[in-house]
Amino acid sequence: MLTSLHIEGNSWLHRLPVRAKLLALVALSILLFLSGSVLVQLTAFVISGGLYISVGLSWREALKRVGFVFFTIFFLAAVNLFLLPLSEVAVLTLRLMALVLFAAAVTATTTIGAFMDEITVLLTPFERLGWVRAADVSLALGLVLRFVPDILARYQAIREAHRARGLPVRPLTIIGPLIILTLKDADTIAAAIDARGFRRQ
């Protein structure tokens, strides 16, 4: 249910450290937004597309991952055709597609663990200021992954309860009980975390 979008592989992007990939993504965004040349955008699109294809996704999966975002891009491009000159529409559309493909390639080649290590590093300055603790972020992330299946099971139970009573399954009558039942566990979970001294305070 909560499987990462990362895929196993040994492509060039897989071997690159996560920091380099993220910096490249930022640099690419800045470069493409500063440039108004169709040629630059097209080159970036071809390279990003090539990288995305090379990470080892099946065509079907590759298309599925960017399909929805591409749909919005094409829709807006179609609207733009009526309002802007053709060359400008080409620049805008190619730029977005290049960035989306590159971002999707970074996501596909980076593990959650690698991202988390990078986030810990990025949080260091805030940690020094005492705003946030990297350990808390990891703990919260772990809690989410731990409780999503439980909450989904609870949602299904509430839905079944509706059906058993012949009630229509409506978001309104489900969301209230789902949230109350879930959040009521907070005290117990917090007590369990503190009892184990996970946060050392």
Q: Residues in the site for another protein, rule: CB under 8 A?
A: 1-6, 25, 29, 65-66, 68-69, 72-73, 76-77, 79-80, 83-84, 88-89, 92, 96, 99-104, 106-108, 110, 112, 115-116, 119, 136-137, 139-141, 143-144, 147-148, 151-152, 155, 171-172, 175-176, 178-180, 182-187, 189-190, 193-194, 199
Q: What is the CA angle 185-190-192, rounded to 5?
A: 100
Write the CB contacts of 198 (distance below 8 Å, at least 6 apart in sequence). Answer: 139
Q: 12 or 71, CB closer to another protein?
A: 71
CA distance 104 to 49: 10
As a whole number of angstroms, the distance between CA 80 and CA 87 comes to 11
Amino acid at 167: L
Vertex 185 angle, CA 180 and 186, to 5°:
100
